[in-house]
Amino acid sequence: MTQREKDFPALLERLRPECERIIAQYEQKRSALLPMMHLFQQNEGFVSQDAMQAAAEMLDLTPAEVESTVSFYTLLYRRPVGKYVLQVCRGLPCTINGAEDIMAYFREKLGIGHLQTTGDGLFSYEEVECLAACDRATCMEVNLEFAYDLTPAKIDEMLAAMRAGTYPVAPMPQTAAPASTWAVPQDGQVGDGKKAPGAVGVESPDNAGGVGDASGLIMLDNIINRDVYFFHRTQERAVVESRSVAELVEEEAKEGDRAGH
Ligand code: FES
């Protein structure tokens, strides 16, 4: 039995009142699952099998229900991670602003790639989709706290501060030593150390697409060349349109006819 497993019963008893407080907030017990899993992760550094088992018991769920929920969310780690989880945005606005160079710089400085943890267990590194801070591209999260306007000099400063223990974001607790990746083998390609390619025609898992990536153009072609594209109008538009969706579709079809489509 590992030290973490030995310590778990005491941790569970310490967290139980908070779990009960969370559960009491919801009409249905099962709604407390995600906040409870975050609570355990904040205390163990990841969501252990023990934590999932305990949650299943407290919420009257099966372990399979708990694990299938936890495994859906990439912000819940089912294996130990580094004390600092560095999640660099590889979305389009960040890519236009230089995310490819920023990611390459991180990989070089850390000596690891996507979904990997450094040998000393200090850093886990992940390239993620849009973090919804595009106005401050390029950006990232450090243990879920944002860092904006990244440059190599800023990255050097951040990594040095994390190594020195002076970075303003607290390190994650680490109750078990992380392996070289926290990906779980069942998660398809990810278990092989690969990730889904960033875009059409992009094979390297470390290539986010971006410049030279034809995906955007292919999508644009699809939109422009589709005669009845606006037939896919959603009902939401009807809320702000005085005309009904059926009327709009009919009008657009007529306009299409006039335009010779
Ligand atoms: S693309 Fe990076 S935050 Fe949106």
Q: Read off the pLDDT of residues 43-58 as tens digits, 9 standing for 90 and up.
A: 999 999 999 999 999 9
CA-131 nearest atom, ligand 1:
3
CA distance 174 to 232: 49
Predicted local confidence at residue 167, as pLDDT? 96
Task: Return the closest-CA partner of residue 177 out of 41, 82, 47.
Answer: 82
206 band by pLDDT with thresholds 50, 70 and 90:
low
Structure tokens given for 251: 């009008």
140 CB near ligand 1 (under 6 Å): no
Contact yes or no for 90/213 (Cβ under 8 A): no
Which helix (H) or strand (E) segment holds residue 116: the answer is strand 116-117
93 CB near ligand 1 (under 6 Å): yes
Question: 59 C-alpha vs ligand 1 centroid, how far in Å?
Answer: 36
58 CB near ligand 1 (under 6 Å): no
Look at the chain and count its residues: 261
Q: What angle do CA 159, 163, 164 make, to 5 degrees?
A: 115
End-to-end CA distance of the chain: 70
98 CB near ligand 1 (under 6 Å): no
Residues paired with residue 181 on neighbouring β-strands, in sequence order: 116
128 CB near ligand 1 (under 6 Å): no
Which helix (H) or strand (E) segment holds residue 106: the answer is helix 99-110
Predicted local confidence at residue 215, as pLDDT? 59
Contact yes or no for 197/203 (Cβ under 8 A): yes
Contact yes or no for 176/49 (Cβ under 8 A): no
* pLDDT tops 90 at residue 236: no
Question: Across all residues in the chain, what is the average pLDDT?
Answer: 83
Residue nearest ligand 1's atom 1 by CA: 91
139 CB near ligand 1 (under 6 Å): yes
150 CB near ligand 1 (under 6 Å): no
SS3 89: strand
Structure tokens given for 102: 């920023």
* pLDDT tops 50 at residue 238: no
